[in-house]
Amino acid sequence: MGNLGMPEIMMIMFLALLLFGPKKLPEIGKQVGKALGEFKRASNDLKRSIEDEMEKANISADLKLKDDPPKTDQNPASPAPVLAEGAVFQEKSAPEKPVEATKPS
C-alpha cells in the first residue's frame, strides 16, 4: 500500500462520516481502538512465550552439554547393557569346552 497523504486521509474520514454518521463514529473508533489494543497484547504474549520457550531450549541444551562425558576416540568392544532401574547385571561366562586328550605321536 502506498503512502497516504493528508488529502487521502481526509477523503477516508469524509466517507466514514457519510457511511456511519456522526453518532456512530465515536463508538466505531472505541471498538477499533480496543481491537488494536487486544491484538497488540496478544502479539506481545505470543512473542514472550516464544522467547521463553527458546530460552528454556537453550538452557536445557547447555545443561545437556555440561552433563555429557567427554567423548573419546576409543570404541568399546560391545555396548554397555541397558538395565531397568534396580536390576543387577551378572555377566555370564562362555560355556567351557571339554579338553580332549591327544595322543603323543
Tell me the average pLDDT of the chain.
78
Work out the number of other CB atoms within 10 angstroms of the CB of residue 32: 10
Question: Which one has a higher pLDDT value, 89 or 7?
Answer: 7
What pLDDT score does 99 carry?
58
Compute the average pLDDT of residues 22-49. Answer: 94
**Most confident range, picked from 2-11, 39-48, 74-83, 96-105:** 39-48
Residues 6+ positions from 25 with CB-CB distance below 8 Å: 16, 17
Residue among 2, 5, 6, 29 nearest 16 (CA)? 29
52-103 per-position pLDDT tens digit: 999 998 888 777 777 666 566 555 555 555 555 655 555 556 556 665 666 6
What is the rounded CA–CA span in Å between residue 43 and residue 88? 54
